[in-house]
Amino acid sequence: MTADSGLAGRAFLIVMDSAGIGGAPDAARFFNDGMPDTGANTIGHIAVECAAGRAETGRSGPLRMPTLDALGLGAAIRLASGLAAPGLDATPQGLWGAATEVSRGKDTPSGHWELAGVPVPWDWHYFRAPVNSFPPDLAALVARVAGTEGILGNCHAPGTAIIESLGAEHLRTGWPICYTSADSVFQIAAHEERFGLDRLLQLCREIAPELHRMRVGRVIARPFVGEPGHFIRTPNRRDFAIAPPAATILDRAQAAGRATHAIGKIGDIFSHRGIDHLHKGKDDAALMDHLIRLADEAGPGSLTFANFVEFDSLYGHRRDVAGYARALEWFDGRAGEFMARLRPGDLAIFTADHGNDPTFTGTDHTRERVPVLGGIVSSAGIGLNPVGQVGYVDVAASVAAHLGLPDQGPGRSFL
């Protein structure tokens, strides 16, 4: 499949955070609450629950994703895992396949870096103890930089839950709330007004180098506002992530003089490297508005890299099947609007970074293959192109090939 000749086609790489499709060959090596991820299948199992009438809150009936299913979503699920997902049985009309990850993590940086052409060459550090999770010297460093006598939390916890349980004590003591999860992450929650947003960001910025030396992937600032019983996280989250160890597709596009656009937390994931224009928003709806706008406004030969996080943050980790299904159906409708605005010569790829099966045990990400859906627009639409089983790095190689960038990455183009 090739772009119409003479046109400087654009590329749009769109990550549906955690929207896995099962079938990872190494799933047994990854765990949730002591149980292996074998059999996890995020979109597939959501479709099963919807068809069985067990996901009726705010929606009803089988899972409906006509835009992505027409591209090949149902076929990709069957290819990845063998599951015939109810309601996702359209005959593919676009580019479709399933991608397998090789990085030794099922987290945000690993997935995104590899999709951008850079598999993670090291093992991440995890804080595995559920309580007293952090080494005493690290806790002391955070308190010293924060100017407090100690920290709160020091445990594994969901972000909203720990704010509810420790927010009042945080307001009383002024101590930062520090917590982690099954990911390689150190998170700090603090009241945006009483502790101060700038102070929170500076705290995270100063301690990040020490965490990065430990191979902890991200230090995340989690500001919130409100009073006890009514705390709400604000959209001013900031990730301080380790920089990728090699040039990503963003770096390569920027070096070639192509405009690069980052939507959502892409900037944070890539340490703001290789990015010309950053587009943020308070929620996925605002991010989708940016994506649709850029379908109209992004210049010839540009690269737009987008992340839609709420599948993961609001529904996957919280094991909310109906909420995840609502988000998928909403996204599919807006994806149709986006696709209708693309120009001949444009490439669009919808994919994911890992799984987070809301029907699965525990609350962690799940090791899964991910969909690869989309195609190059021509005057006749998008043509059928089954690409089969590919690697995450092949996504980056395909974007690079479409944009005419030098062949520098480890993957192979499937275009």
- Do you know the residue count of the chain? 415
Average pLDDT, the chain: 95
Which residues, in sequence order, are CB contacts of 335 under 8 Å at separation 6+?
A: 14, 67, 68, 350
State yes or no: 317 annotated in a binding site: yes
Output 83 or 381, whichever has higher pLDDT: 83
Instruction: Identify the sign of the CA torsion 342, 344, 347, 350.
Output: positive
Answer yes or no: are the C-beta atoms of 345 and 3 closer than 8 Å: yes
Other CB atoms within a 10 A radius of the CB of residue 34 amount to: 7
238-266: average pLDDT: 96
CA separation, residue 18 to residues 227, 309, 364 (Å): 32, 8, 10
| Mean predicted confidence (pLDDT) in 58-87 | 98
Give per-residue pLDDT as tens, 153-184: 999 998 889 999 999 999 999 999 999 988 89
Determine if residue 353 is labeled as part of a ligand binding site. Answer: yes
Mean pLDDT of 64-70: 98
Q: For residue 261, list its beta bridge partners.
A: 277, 304
Interacting residues of 229 by C-beta distance below 8 A, sequence separation 6+: none
Please determine, for residue 4, whether its predicted confidence score (pLDDT) is greater than 70.
Answer: no
Q: Residue 122: exposed, middle, or buried by beta-carbon count in 10 A (0-12, 13-18, 19+)?
A: exposed
Question: Where residue 5 falls among pLDDT bands split at 50, 70, 90?
Answer: very low
**How do strand 95-100 and strand 385-391 relate by DSSP bridges?**
parallel
Nearest to 311 by CA among 377, 394, 368, 390: 368
Give DSSP secondary structure letters for 167-188.
Answer: HHHHHHH---EEEE-SSSEEEE
Q: State which amino acid sits at residue 325.
A: A
Measure Cα distances from 325 to 37, 58, 292, 317, 322 in Å.
Answer: 21, 9, 22, 14, 5
Q: SS3 for 311?
A: helix
295: tokens are: 């379908």
Residue 346 known to bind ligand = no
Are 142 and 188 in contact by the 8 Å Cβ rule? The answer is yes
Binned at pLDDT 50, 70 and 90, residue 246 comes out as: very high
Task: Express each pLDDT in 376-401 by its tens digit.
Answer: 999 888 999 999 999 999 999 999 99
pLDDT of 214 > 90? The answer is: yes
Is a pLDDT exceeding 60 seen at residue 3? Answer: no
Domains of the chain by range and CATH?
11-121+245-403 (3.40.720.10), 136-241 (3.30.70.1250)
Does residue 239 have a known ligand-binding role? no
Q: In 10 A of CB 135, how many CB atoms? A: 12
Q: Is 191 annotated as a binding-site member?
A: no
For 98-150, the pLDDT digits (tens) are 999 999 999 999 999 999 999 999 999 999 999 999 999 999 999 999 999 99
CA 167 to chain CA centroid, nearest Å = 27
Any residues with CB less than 8 A from the CB of 127 and at least 6 apart, and which?
A: 133, 134, 156, 180, 186, 216
Is 276 annotated for ligand binding?
A: no
Question: Are 15 and 352 contacting, i.e. CB atoms less than 8 angstroms apart?
Answer: yes
